[in-house]
């Protein structure tokens, strides 16, 4: 199983990953919260270990961001902060467990195995999550994230984005879009589709080097990082 560790203490990070690997886990080490969030966009992990006091984005904010689009992957906070208020803050942000440093690695292993035994089977996890490059669409909660930041969309913008994403890179025509998103509630000769595509581009692509929404002249539109 793949574990992602957020810990800026280089010695502890190395020792902990070595211990986990000796117990048949794969462990990736990340030293700041910003890089951590980028890492999880294109990689799958079975459990996250988060220190709180790390550079750029602290572990509690990382935990909260993860939970905004992933309710299932277990999260254990490992921190030197041992006050009840710190633990309360972590559990409020939907962490699954909290372990105060210094701790015995064997205890952490026991807690990890306990959480992993209770984890939802992988074929049921994130079935309502769509990922395209660093774009994450949560169909259940009607939330969209790119680069770790939430993007506010109107209902029709969201429905259009989901339809494009579910096409998995295939080009969809203006007619197909009107049938699935607007259900023929307007004249297909109008420029409504073009207008909403432009709305999405301003929100999804404008501030990012990699553009995801593309036009195939004479055919329609597609969503892809390529």
For the stretch 195-221, pLDDT in tens is: 999 999 999 999 888 899 999 888 889
Q: Which domains does the chain have, with CATH numbers?
A: 2-119 (3.40.50.2300), 129-223 (1.10.10.10)
Token pair in block for residue 54: 């790390």
Token pair in block for residue 97: 């467990």
Task: Report mean pLDDT in 10-residue bins for the chain, 226 residues.
Answer: 92 95 92 92 87 94 89 92 92 94 93 80 58 87 86 94 89 87 69 93 91 89 86
What's residue 80's pLDDT?
92
What's residue 191's pLDDT?
87
Whole-Å CA distances, 20 to 116, 118, 195: 14, 19, 51
**Under 8 Å between Cβ of 10 and 30:** no
**Under 8 Å between Cβ of 7 and 51:** yes
User: Which residues lie closer than 8 Å to 106 by C-beta, 6 or more apart?
Assistant: none
Dist CA 182 CA 180 (whole Å): 6
Percent of the chain having pLDDT more than 90? Answer: 57
What phi and psi, each to the nearest 5 degrees, are found at residue 56?
A: 70, -65
Whole-Å CA distances, 190 to 141, 154, 167: 31, 20, 23
């Amino acid at each position: 199983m793949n574990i992602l560790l957020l810990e800026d203490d280089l010695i502890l990070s190395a020792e902990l990953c070595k211990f986990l690997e000796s117990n048949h886990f794969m462990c990736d080490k990340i030293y700041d919260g910003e890089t951590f969030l980028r890492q999880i966009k294109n990689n799958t992990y079975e459990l996250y270990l988060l220190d709180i006091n790390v550079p750029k984005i602290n572990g509690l904010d990382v935990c909260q961001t993860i939970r905004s689009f992933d309710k299932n992957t277990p999260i254990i906070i490992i921190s030197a902060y041992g006050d009840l208020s710190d633990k309360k803050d972590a559990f409020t942000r939907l962490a699954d467990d909290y372990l105060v440093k210094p701790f015995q690695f064997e205890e952490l292993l026991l807690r990890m195995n306990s959480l992993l035994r209770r984890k939802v089977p992988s074929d049921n996890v994130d079935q309502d999550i769509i990922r395209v490059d660093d774009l994450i669409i949560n169909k259940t909660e009607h939330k969209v994230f790119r680069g770790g930041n939430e993007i506010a969309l109107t209902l029709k913008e969201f429905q259009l984005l989901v339809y494009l994403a579910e096409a998995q890179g295939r080009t969809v025509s203006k007619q197909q879009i009107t049938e699935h998103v607007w259900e023929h509630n307007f004249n297909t000769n109008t420029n409504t589709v073009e207008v909403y595509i432009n709305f999405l581009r301003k929100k999804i692509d404008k501030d990012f080097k990699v553009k995801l929404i593309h036009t195939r002249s004479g055919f329609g539109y597609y969503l892809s990082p390529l």
